[in-house]
Amino acid sequence: MLQSVGWIYVCLFVPILMIGILGLLERSLTGNYPMTALAFLFVVTSFHFQRKDHDFLDGLGASPMIYRLLDYLLIFLPLLVGLLMIACSLDVLLVFLILPIIAAIRPPQKSIGDYMPTFPVSFIPLMAFEWRSGFRRYGWGLMLLYILALVGSYQMGVGIGFTILLALLSIGFFDELEEKTLLEVFKPFDRFFQRKIYWQALFFHGLMLPHYILSLVFHGQFWYLLLVAILIAESILLFCLFFKYAHWHPNRRKAYNQVTMGLYIGSLIVPFLAPAGLFYCWVYYKKAKKNLAYYYG
């Protein structure tokens, strides 16, 4: 599972998840709203409708609802015990009231994604093939995040954080390599990377423009932090692009970049290593040009 998700994503999102859980616990303790229970039930519901073992549970003889309920209680038992220890009784009560209802529902054979139309990608330029590929698979989820970030842009750091987050989420888009026939559409290759960088940057920053504007409107005094976030996001996209074409081959379909991207992002996090990271990016740019010149030079 870790290999399929990618350890870089795990390292990035586990701290964010922990901060989110602590924030929910603080809301539950200081207010009268069971925020932790609502978040918990949302996660369980999402997991419940993604399960693929409903037919197996139906064949066990006993009520499948009992198996599912015990499953959820065992998985989230540490969280429930923690809520009781910090006196979040309202959260625990809400969980025990709603959880049996969720467990009793048998989802349809098809997942929700099977009923949704394919995300339209015609507005994405062909030069941004990676974004077309990514939005075709994850477009609806990304748009939901996009809208939520817009709604929360009045909060400090949301626009800045989402700028970097979208760049990080796009890392996986660059794993997929174009077929030779599709790449040959972009001949001649003497200015290929200039055109590629231009259209990638135009699409990404055009997409993020509303977030940039709202960040400046609500938090204009921190414009320099937004500028740093934009530069970090752009450098991540450039590194992904150069790494991809440095490893492009006519018969290769994937170029996994998890470990290498982890090293590059690590160099951006540690300030005195940033020059080494940028030099690393330049090295892959030269490799990418040399690689395409080998096949089309």
pLDDT of residue 231: 92
Residue 212 CA to residue 163 CA, distance in Å, equals 9
**DSSP SS3 for 254:** strand
Question: How many CB atoms are closer than 10 A to CB 198?
Answer: 13
pLDDT attached to residue 153 = 81
* pLDDT recorded at residue 22: 56
Q: Which residue matches tokens 């005094």?
A: 221
Task: Round to whole Å and give the CA distance between 107 and 104.
Answer: 10
Q: Report pLDDT for 4.
A: 41
Cis check: omega of the bond before 210, within 30 degrees of 0: no
- pLDDT in the model for residue 205: 92
| Predicted local confidence at residue 295, as pLDDT | 73
pLDDT lower than 70: segments of the chain: 1-36, 39, 61-62, 83-89, 107-116, 184-185, 188-189, 257, 296-297
Backbone phi and psi for residue 31, each to the nearest 5 degrees, phi listed first = -125, -175
Within 13 Å, how many C-alpha atoms sit on residue 62's CB side? 6
pLDDT for residue 5? 42
**Buried b or exposed e, range 244-270, using 16+ CB within 10 angstroms:** bbbbbeeeeeebebeebbbebbebbee
Question: Which residues are registered as beta bridge partners of 254?
Answer: 176
For 60, the token pair is 């066990």
